[in-house]
Amino acid sequence: MRWRRSKSRCGRPRTSRPSLNTVIRKPENETVLERSVFINTLLLRKGISWDQIFTDLEKTIPYNVKLVRIRPTVDDQGRVTLDMILAAESNGPAVGALKAFQENPLFGAVEWKTITPPSQNGTLYRLALNVTYAQKL
């Protein structure tokens, strides 16, 4: 009997959503809210399968193009974008990588940001790009 009363009280919301939002948005609670958003973002990023990303990239990127950096981001709708830097000995393989991403159904829009020619610090062309990725969270 006691358990039923407790259960019925727990099932009823005591306050409305707008009043809860007012409490959460108070300046003294701002730090907790920011931390919560930060942790939720980390959990979303943790949900990305690195094994699957590298498997799909291995099948897509030409053999003579190197992956220098990759940084996945997740938007509010759970779509994954890969911010990458690729490197190759010439422009041809870099352009081939762009074409390969466009032809592979696992990848969506390709945003070519920059291409940097070889310099004193490196002997490879560097291509910075963003590619939408089909992995859903």
Closest CA to 72 of 83, 56, 61: 83
75-84 tens-digit pLDDT: 777 788 999 9
Average model confidence (pLDDT) for the chain? 81
Tell me the whole-structure pTM to 2 decimals.
0.65
**For residue 9, how many other CB atoms are within 10 A of its CB?**
9
- The whole-angstrom separation of Cα 42 and Cα 38 is 6
Q: Give the model's pLDDT for residue 1.
A: 52
96-112 tens-digit pLDDT: 999 999 999 999 999 98
- What stretch of H or E contains 53? helix 50-60
- The whole-angstrom separation of Cα 23 and Cα 33 is 11
